[in-house]
Amino acid sequence: MPKSSKDVSVWVIRRLPRYYRFLNELLRNGICRISSRELSQKMGLTASQIRQDLNCFGGFGQQGYGYNVELLHNEIGNILGLNKKIPIVLIGAGNLGRALTIHMDFDYRGFNLIGIFDVNPAIIGTEIGGVKVSDMSELEAFCKKEHPQAAILCIPKAAAHDVAENLISWGVKGFWNFSHYDLSFHFPDVITENVHLGDSLMTLCFMINNDTSSDPEPKDE
Amino acid sequence: MPKSSKDVSVWVIRRLPRYYRFLNELLRNGICRISSRELSQKMGLTASQIRQDLNCFGGFGQQGYGYNVELLHNEIGNILGLNKKIPIVLIGAGNLGRALTIHMDFDYRGFNLIGIFDVNPAIIGTEIGGVKVSDMSELEAFCKKEHPQAAILCIPKAAAHDVAENLISWGVKGFWNFSHYDLSFHFPDVITENVHLGDSLMTLCFMINNDTSSDPEPKDE
């Protein structure tokens, strides 16, 4: 391991989930061992890139043997901290919030979805994916009792500032942000993972119009 | 403009939608003119980075004046080709597909959603966001008549290969891929924009566990 995970390049960090995903697929296909050459072909990276990436965390490969798939899969899961099951709340149970709740396996990805909050009386009290939708007015008491560390923001941009400010004051330290509100600019100390689906769609528009490809999994070389 | 859009770095291309989004917000706030310094502060980029990016397409700034917001907004829209309204179909109208249909303003982002297809008899014939859900068995005839150029894949990984192969043979050249199937590996000539929400969530998990930040809008410097 490097002295601190802060020393590891953002791109290595962003590739870790991808390694985890590929290795999981290999495991499910009963593949126990893979060379860095084979892994690199599957992932569209160079073998040297993979060795460099994994060396950031201490290696894991064996000369002439390659990688033990299960071991590497579990190690990457440990590096990501997927076993920690960070308590997370969903704010905004409209179409997108509902889709994420049902579509995402939070547990597999290191989180425990402990609460869903909305302002719409029509859905308050209903359940989505086994979790009850509560009234936003109950959020403060909930946070003080259950201590969620993360929140998914599926709310309009106009509501995002106040909701985030409150959540931060109640102990939330990380956001999965679908709101298009620039949280990092206003709360620079908060951990934010933005998802801009609209930007992604406009990028596709450019690529189709120009018949060009913007490598969807860019390398930092 | 550079000789070809193919000459422009992937990172410049990926920043264009972000410029467009910020400029749109300025416009809506009635701001007509902005210096590269102000724009850079708002966007968390350096002023020099912004000048470099826009120089790839011929500039647009005026010494001592800054940028005309509306002009720059429209120019970036033109570069992205948002006025082309590329015909696109949605394959898979489960929770995620439904959320995208309702949540996304396709028209604003360069596309025209002309069809939705699913295999589930319970939703075939219903409407989502004003578009009828048709049976997958009608897809071939639809493509041959309406010529969609792009498709959104909100289907399980196991179904993605065959559906994509068919769509490509029927003229689709770009995919917005939520299926987790590695299209680019199997169809290297096809334009693919992958959205891996699960990877994004695992990245957040790592950042929270390590109290670190992975700049969500990375620069290529």
Asked which of A54-63, A75-84, A192-201 is least confident by mean pLDDT, the reply is A54-63
More confident site: A216 or B13: B13
Distance from CA of A126 to the nearest CA of B (A): 16
DSSP alpha helices (H): ranges in B56-151? Answer: 69-80, 95-103, 139-146
| DSSP codes, B36-53 | HHHHHHHHTS-HHHHHHH
Q: Is some CB atom of chain A closer than 8 A to the CB atom of B42?
A: yes
Asked which of A25-29, A73-77, B9-13 is least confident by mean pLDDT, the reply is B9-13
| Beta carbons within 8 Å of B122's beta carbon, 6+ residues apart | none
Q: Is some CB atom of chain A closer than 8 A to the CB atom of B221?
A: no
Angle CA(A72)–CA(A73)–CA(A78) in degrees, nearest 5? 95
DSSP element (H, E) containing A152:
strand A150-153
Structure pTM? 0.85
What pLDDT does residue B7 have?
Answer: 65
Under 8 Å between Cβ of A162 and A171: no
Query: pLDDT of A3-28, one tens digit each?
Result: 455 567 777 888 899 999 999 989 99
Q: What is the mean pLDDT of residues A146-174?
A: 96
DSSP element (H, E) containing B57:
none
Contact A18 B196 (CB under 8 A): yes
Q: What is the mean pLDDT of residues A123-143?
A: 97
Q: Is some CB atom of chain A closer than 8 A to the CB atom of B173?
A: yes
Crossing angle of helices B139-146 and B157-169, in 10° steps, is 40
Q: Is some CB atom of chain A closer than 8 A to the CB atom of B85?
A: no
> Which residues in chain B are closer than 8 Å to A105, comparing Cβ atoms?
198
Structure tokens at B127: 């409407």
Q: Is some CB atom of chain B closer than 8 A to the CB atom of A123?
A: no
What pLDDT does residue A9 have?
Answer: 76
Query: pLDDT of A193-218, one tens digit each?
Result: 999 999 999 999 999 998 886 554 44
Distance from CA of B29 to the nearest CA of A (A): 13
> Which residues in chain B are closer than 8 Å to A80, comparing Cβ atoms?
202, 205-206, 209
A residues 129..158 contacting B (CB < 8 A): 149-150
> Which residues in chain A are closer than 8 Å to B42, comparing Cβ atoms?
185
What pLDDT does residue A126 have?
Answer: 97
B residues 15..34 contacting A (CB < 8 A): 16-18, 20-21
Taking the alpha carbons at both ends of chain B, their separation in whole angstroms is: 22
Under 8 Å between Cβ of A103 and B100: no
Query: pLDDT of B86-129, one tens digit each?
Result: 999 999 999 899 989 988 899 999 999 999 999 999 999 999 99
Q: Which of B41, B155, B197, B204 to mutate to test the interface with A (most CBs of A within 10 A)?
A: B204
Q: What is the mean pLDDT of residues B29-54?
A: 86
Q: Per-residue pLDDT for A143 more than 80?
A: yes
What pLDDT does residue B61 have?
Answer: 65
| Beta carbons within 8 Å of B143's beta carbon, 6+ residues apart | B89, B167, B170, B171, B172
Distance from CA of A55 to the nearest CA of B (A): 17
Q: Per-residue pLDDT for B216 more than 60?
A: no
Angle CA(A208)–CA(A196)–CA(B199) in degrees, nearest 5? 95
Give the position of tokens 């566990």.
B209
Across the interface, of B13, B104, B192, the residue whose CB is closest to A198 is: B104
What pLDDT does residue B219 have?
Answer: 42
| Beta carbons within 8 Å of A83's beta carbon, 6+ residues apart | A77, A110
Amino acid at the residue A119: V
What pLDDT does residue A111 have?
Answer: 97
Q: What percent of chain A has pLDDT over 70?
A: 90
Query: How many CB atoms within 10 Å of residue A193?
Result: 25
B residues 189..218 contacting A (CB < 8 A): 191-218
Q: Shortest CA distance to A110 belongs to which of B202, B210, B212, B213? A: B202
Amino acid at the residue A83: N
Q: Per-residue pLDDT for B39 more than 90?
A: no
Antiparallel, parallel or unpaired: β A127-128 and A67-68: unpaired
Under 8 Å between Cβ of A214 and A203: yes
Q: What percent of chain A has pLDDT over 90?
A: 59
Q: Per-residue pLDDT for B40 more than 80?
A: yes
Give the position of tokens 């460099």.
A52
What count of CB pairs under 8 Å joins A to B?
228
What pLDDT does residue B218 have?
Answer: 46
> Which residues in chain B are closer than 8 Å to A196, comparing Cβ atoms?
17-18, 21
Q: Per-residue pLDDT for B54 more than 90?
A: no
More confident site: A5 or A128: A128
List of E strands, B104-168? 111-118, 127-128, 131-135, 150-153
| Beta carbons within 8 Å of A193's beta carbon, 6+ residues apart | A174, A175, A176, A177, B200, B201, B203, B204, B207, B214, B216
